[in-house]
Every structure is written in C-alpha cells, then in structure tokens.
C-alpha cells in the first residue's frame, strides 16, 4: 500500500468546509495551500479549515505563473498572501508555528529560482517533511532540497473543467498509470507520495462531490493518507 500526504490547492471556496468535515470523518490531516484572492472572498471558510486543525500554506496572492514575473513581483505575491495568512491565524487565535509555500503551477520562478529559494530560506519558511519520498523524478529535479512544497502525484481533476476530452475515466487512467510522465505511480506498493488535488467549485459543478469520490476511490485502491510533518530547514 502506498502512503500519501494530502495537499489541496487553490482554496478556500464554498466547498472547503465540507471537504474538511469529510476528511475529519476519515481521520485525514490535509495541507491546504490558499491563495489570496480566494482567501479574501472566502475568509470564513478558510477560518473553518484552520480551526478544524488543517495545516495552511501560502499559494501566492493572485496565483500567477512565477516564471513570468520579475523577482520583485514574486516576492510581493508571497508577502501579500503572508499578511493575509497572519490575519487568518490571528482571527482564529492560533499561533503560527510554521510557514509553507507552494508555487502556482509548480512554476519555481525560472531565472529567479535560486533567489526565491534564498528568500524563502532567509524568511524562515519550513519544508513539508519529504524525507520518506524516494521518487526518482522528485529527487532528480532536486525537489527534495527546495524549500517550497511540490508533489509526486497530481489528480489533474481540474482538467474536467478545461477540456471535453478529459473525463472521469481520464482521472482513473492517471490513478492506475504504472508509468506516469512525472511523479510516480500512485498505487505502487511501498511508495510514499505527496498527492495534489484542488479545491475548485467549477470542477464540482461538472462532477458533484468529485473530492469525496476521488479520495474514497484511492483509499479503496489501497492508498493510506498519513499526517504531514513539518521540518525545519537543513542548514
Ligand atoms: Zn494552484
């Protein structure tokens, strides 16, 4: 059975509270990477997730592709969202003991990559503990040393909303793919994953309850969701 940390990107939305309730019923602790536009418009839903014990990370303010931004624009995107997250924790009355960051689209800033990593390091960002992850693609790309958090399996279920060629069967195909182009096979035995799924209202309009359906499905197929650990930076 594979073990997976569950990460959920792009919230909060009106769906977030029901996702959180469902995960609590399954005893699954997620990491939610919120971005600013969503958090401003769905602050109460974000607050609920935090108060129910979810780990909350920074996914930028406006969800741009960082490869297309100047260094200063990248930092502004991170810091604007950081201020909103501070407000979220303050409102919840919960002390912030960690700072996590995930790039939108996993785009690490192109020519500014090293500078942004240095910024994250100097500003006390933490890593999701990925020391158990032994995926060749992940290690070959040095994602295991970057401070930001990537993933090793993406459901890509948001494509239901982008393309009529992409169907529920396409997601099942990805789940069962023994040889994916990126990441690692989800259902391979004894493999550790960071799994990515999204908090998108548009996907839920096309496939209602997609979140619960997909998580139920992979649990049935033998994926065990494990609680994330946050590690301090290796110096
Ligand atoms: Zn995103």
**Residue partners of 158: CB distance under 8 A and separation at least 6:** 198, 200, 202, 203
Q: How far is the CA of 123 from the centre of ligand 1 (A)?
A: 22
- The CB-based long-range contact list for 108-114 (8 Å cut-off, 24+ gap) reads 108/66, 108/67, 108/146, 108/148, 109/66, 109/67, 109/69, 109/71, 109/74, 110/66, 110/67, 110/68, 112/66, 112/69, 112/70, 112/71, 112/74
Q: How far is the CA of 52 from the centre of ligand 1 (A)?
A: 22
Give the model confidence (pLDDT) of 117-166 as tens digits.
Answer: 999 999 999 999 999 999 999 999 999 999 999 999 999 999 998 888 99
- pLDDT in the model for residue 232: 66
- The CB-based long-range contact list for 108-111 (8 Å cut-off, 24+ gap) reads 108/66, 108/67, 108/146, 108/148, 109/66, 109/67, 109/69, 109/71, 109/74, 110/66, 110/67, 110/68
Structure tokens at 230: 């946050």
Pairing of strands 3-11, 224-225: parallel
Per-residue pLDDT of the chain (235 residues; tens, 9 = 90+): 899 999 999 999 999 999 999 999 999 999 999 999 999 999 999 999 999 999 999 999 999 999 999 999 999 999 999 999 999 999 999 999 999 999 999 999 999 999 999 999 999 999 999 999 999 999 999 999 999 999 999 999 999 988 889 999 999 999 999 999 999 999 988 899 999 999 999 999 999 999 999 999 999 999 999 999 998 654 4
Q: How far is the CA of 36 from the centre of ligand 1 (A)?
A: 11
- pLDDT in the model for residue 235: 42
- pLDDT in the model for residue 109: 97
CATH entry 3.20.20.370 includes domain 3-231: yes
- pLDDT in the model for residue 234: 47
Task: Please give the Cα distance from 86 to 208 (Å, whole number).
Answer: 32
DSSP 8-state secondary structure symbol assigned to residue 78: H
Q: How far is the CA of 217 from the centre of ligand 1 (A)?
A: 23
Q: How far is the CA of 43 from the centre of ligand 1 (A)?
A: 17
């Amino acid at each position: 059975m594979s073990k997976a940390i569950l990460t959920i990107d792009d919230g909060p939305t009106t769906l977030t509270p029901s996702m959180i309730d469902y995960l609590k019923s399954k005893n699954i602790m997620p990491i939610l990477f919120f971005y600013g536009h969503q958090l401003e418009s769905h602050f109460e839903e974000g607050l609920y997730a935090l108060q129910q014990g979810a780990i909350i990370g920074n996914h930028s303010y406006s969800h741009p592709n960082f490869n297309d931004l100047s260094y200063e624009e990248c930092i502004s995107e991170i810091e604007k969202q950081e201020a909103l997250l501070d407000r979220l924790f303050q409102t919840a009355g919960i002390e912030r003991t960690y700072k996590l960051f995930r790039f939108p689209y996993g785009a690490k800033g192109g020519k500014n990559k090293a500078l942004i990593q240095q910024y994250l390091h100097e500003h006390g960002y933490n890593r999701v503990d990925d020391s158990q992850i032994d995926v060749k693609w992940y290690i070959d790309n040095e994602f295991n040393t970057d401070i930001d958090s990537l993933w090793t399996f993406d459901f890509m279920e948001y494509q239901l909303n982008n393309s009529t060629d992409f169907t529920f069967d396409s997601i099942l195909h990805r789940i069962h793919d023994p040889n994916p182009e990126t990441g690692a096979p989800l259902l391979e035995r004894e493999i550790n994953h960071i799994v990515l799924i999204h908090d998108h209202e548009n996907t839920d309009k096309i496939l209602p309850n997609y979140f619960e359906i997909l998580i139920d499905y992979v649990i049935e197929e033998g994926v065990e969701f494990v609680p994330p650990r946050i590690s301090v930076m290796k110096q």
